[in-house]
Amino acid sequence: MVLNGVVVVSINSADWIGRSETALDHVVRGPFDRLAALLDREAESTAIPPMGHLLCFLPGAPQTEMGTDGHPVRGGLVPPIDLPMRMAAGSRVRFHAPVPFDTHVRRVTTLADVSEKTGRTGRLAFMTLRHDIFAGDTLCITDEADVVFREKSGNAQPAPPGERREAQVSRSIEPAASLLFRFSALTYNAHRIHYDRDYTMGEEGYPGLVVHGPLLATLLVDHFRRHRPHDKLATFQFRAQRPVFDLAPFTVNLVDTDSGADVWAADADGYVAMSGKIGVV
């Protein structure tokens, strides 16, 4: 198909959905001690914290296979989507059992869904990857992660008018460049929008460095655990709604519910940037 003079490759989802791959890792304490330092909290004693699986199974693409944006060249389970911009959109996470330190773990990743549509900013493609993480034969974590691909424009489109909420408990976060860089290092994430200001503003049209979606999610869980340190998380689902930049402090917020809490990150203008729900055992 040709759209505006550009050849568009349509995805045959039936050829891709259901494909899977397996990765192995060894969970050691060091990275999680450094994550605790990043969050200004005490290190975990026996097992990785909720959302700590983001520090496991890190990508290991050779440098010659890295794209100009800092992402590895696409392949594996990612279909041939001809849209250059890639962003994390949200996840639905279930915590079945703890992942102890000094444990060998296995992750089975399955392409659960892929689809295309046209939105406010042009063509879009959506992909859902289901990650099942095991320690031995025990299923510990299930993470259904959504990724969105979109067209590149000369300037990033401004987010539509947002939503404001009143929090029960709120905490301000200073998005220092060092915070973003350290999280990129912990997750081996070379996407340049998180650390290369010239690229981010000049090539992708953003007004500043972009705070990682997974970092926002990690901060939301950390905020809940500070507020309710004795509760055990069972589920966490979240959705990105607008970007957060390093230009001014943002907030993490929550309101208690019967089943856990509603949580959200709000940008410097007070608009909801990521919303989520935490369920407890």
| Mean of all residue pLDDT scores within the chain | 92
Contacts for 1-7: CB closer than 8 Å, 24+ residues apart: 3/123
> Which of 220, 223, 225 lies closest to 274 in space, CA to CA?
220
Report how far residue 142's alpha carbon sits from residue 237's, in angstroms, rounded to the nearest whole number: 11
> Which of 221, 215, 223, 227 lies closest to 279 in space, CA to CA?
221
pLDDT at 150: 87
Report how far residue 156's alpha carbon sits from residue 29's, in angstroms, rounded to the nearest whole number: 39
Percent of the chain whose pLDDT exceeds 70:
93
Report how far residue 219's alpha carbon sits from residue 175's, in angstroms, rounded to the nearest whole number: 11
- Residue 46 phi/psi, 5° resolution? -130, -25
Q: Mean pLDDT throughout 161-171?
A: 93
The pTM is what?
0.91
For residues 226 and 220, is the Cβ–Cβ distance under 8 A?
Answer: no
Report how far residue 278's alpha carbon sits from residue 173's, in angstroms, rounded to the nearest whole number: 20
User: pLDDT by residue (tens digit) across 232-258?
Assistant: 999 999 999 999 999 999 999 999 999
Domains of the chain by start residue, with CATH: 14-280 (3.10.129.10)
The span from the first CA to the last CA of the chain, in angstroms, equals: 50
Strand pairing category for 260-266 and 272-280: antiparallel
